Chains A and B, each alone.
Chain A
Amino acid sequence: MKAWYFSETAYPFLPPEDTYKSIRVTLPSKHYDPRTGADLFDRYFKEWMVADEEGLNLMINEHHQTPTCVNPAAPVTMGAIARLTTKARLLILGNPIANRRDPIRVAEEMALLDILSHGRLEVGFVRGVPYELAAANSNPVRSNERMWEALDLIVKAWSEHEGPFTHEGRYFHHRSVNVWPRPYQQPHPPIWVSATSPSGAAKVGTRGYVQATFLTGRKSTPRVFDSYRRGWREAGHSGDVPLDRLAYSPMIYTADSQAKATQGAEKLLWYLKANKVPDHYRNPPGYLPVEANVSIMRGALPQLAASIKDMTVEAAIEAGVLFAGTPDRVHDQIVRFYDDVGGFGHLLMLGQAGLLDHAEAVHGIRMFGREVLPRLEATLRDRPLRQSAA
């Protein structure tokens, strides 16, 4: 089991929620104080460095037009992390390539990061959350098709070294692709894709990339992983799906007392509860498949949406979106979840969602790194593999 520390780099100092319609897309940036924001980044960088010291790998993500994650240019942030840390593997999850006009620019940014980090980079690609289609002015329809064409083009741009090649595709056109620098890792850094729909996960499985799923909980995660396994088998990959191809991201807060852990976990849950987004940004036409939208019109709601506002720490733990407590409890919660979903090789720990102060965040990272991770590795080392979920 590889563990990754992940911070949302949130800016949580917001006006009362009833004074704005949406925390995404439209919240005016007058609410962002640049000095406070700069101080926050000082803290967040220190937290990444602590995680590096504690033997955790590092993951960052990218979002736009939102205080929930003030990281609209992940390669910039990761460039700094690459030079401040020495041990951790570095994952961007991910580059929202369905919303990017120029995939070659992404290939260049990632290749440069791989050089700057001496080959510690892992590159994630995402279609992008629905709220950001408006921010990117990116058409919700056929965003999957755009993402896969962009991904294949980026991989080719990393892998071709004999001078320019051309690409005249459905969505992207380039007459002279010749990326400098080439990536440090050959043929290219490990590739991750975040997908939660069965068809999306199956496609990731056919390619054999690492499949990550965020906060999908005990109920939905097995479906995602099973879809990946189906794609893996259908593509004719030999053997069972290696564990290192499956990643799960929960919120995690570990503390030396149950009371402190609960308090920290409640602060993490802010990230879910603060996500006030109206339906027209949450579900623009064409983002979800037609059948899924028909189900929603007939009354089906996503698993978490209905009850998220009043979700308690206990309920979030039971749902498998949060692991929190003393080291013993966090260890046991993760092992139970691991067994319930059929195993996975990467744990992406959302350990800073915005409200934790620096001391609290550092405590959570150190407790996990020192008291949970070594035991977890020992427990899971010889765990029998299951190739389908329970």
Chain B
Amino acid sequence: MDLQKIIVADTNVNVFVGGHGKPLLILHDERGFDENAEHIVEMCKTRRLVVISIPGFDGSELPDWVDTVDDLSYICLSALQSLGIFDIDVLGCSIGGWIAVEMAVKMPNLTTKLALCGPLGIKTGPVAKLDIPDIFAVSRDEADRILFCNPRKAFVDLESLSVEKLTAMTRNRETTTLLGWEPYFHNPKLRRRLHRVECPTLFLHGAEDKFTSRSYIESYASLIPSASIIEVAKTGHFVHLEAPSVFVDHVLRFFDEKTD
């Protein structure tokens, strides 16, 4: 993919562009962006992907004034404006899904269709229970069991990784913490704004996802006027990583469907 460097809101933003077809904006999850990931390679065959490397993730600059997903959604909106994009299909996974929703409530006309895989961002459950399990209060292994259907998929051989890659992983965790520590992976106001999402919206839910549960996703979908849910068997939170071809099939079918 080609790297475009743009400056918006005094921030250097990296945008990766590649593939052929109708444009599709991708907002990656908190594990960062990998252009060689199977679902990305597959989608490049039929769509022109526009991937904003989210500030603070991988090698992207994180301005010191940014500390919320709300801030990031403005940067991403400005990035699209800077690229001359005023309507586009959007796919967001996990924290990227949260950013996509924050963008959609701010500029409802921007998003043509919205596909969300395990999006974070809202709180609808009781005060005395976290909607999303506390990933910071468990070991890495336990976190992987929460996030993955097959935790072996999460295995990373640290010794095989370059300093650059280890640095990116560490930054990704740090930025995720900055954004999700408090309030815990949600914007208390966001649920009251979801009615502004006007476009058809698809939620992809891993059947074994213990991070964003089925009931959480159902609550989320119930607050968006035109939303549907597809559950993918034998996958956890990151459906795109555990079942990339099934993921791509569902996402592209949704985006390619004609709507009235």
Contacts and interface: CB of A to CB of B under 8 A. Distances in A.
Interface stretch (B42-50, B174-182, B189-197): B174-182
Contacts of B158: 297-298
Given A285-B173, A285-B174, A290-B174, A139 B182 contact: yes
Contacts of A297: 158, 166, 169-170
Interface string B128-162: 00000000111110000000000000000010000
Interface string A162-180: 0000000010000000000
B170 A284 contact: no
A279 B163 CA distance: 21
A26 B158 CA distance: 29
A279 B173 CA distance: 14
B143 to A, nearest CB: 8
A251 B177 CA distance: 35
A141 B167 contact: no
DSSP majority for the B interface? helix
B70 interface: no
Nearest to A26: B137
B177 A139 contact: yes
Most buried by B among A26, A278, A286, A298: A286
B170 A140 contact: no
A142 B169 CA distance: 18
B28 interface: no
A137 B170 contact: no
B170 A141 contact: no
Interface of A: 25-26, 134, 137-142, 145, 170, 278-281, 284-286, 290-291, 293-294, 297-298
Top 3 A-B residue pairs of the complex, sorted by shortest distance between their CB atoms:
A285-B173, A141-B178, A285-B177
9 contacts: A137-B181, A137-B182, A139-B177, A280-B136, A285-B177, A290-B167, A290-B171, A291-B167, A293-B170
Given A280-B139, A297-B166, A297-B169, 11 more contacts: A139-B181, A141-B67, A141-B174, A279-B139, A279-B140, A280-B138, A285-B176, A286-B174, A286-B178, A290-B167, A298-B163
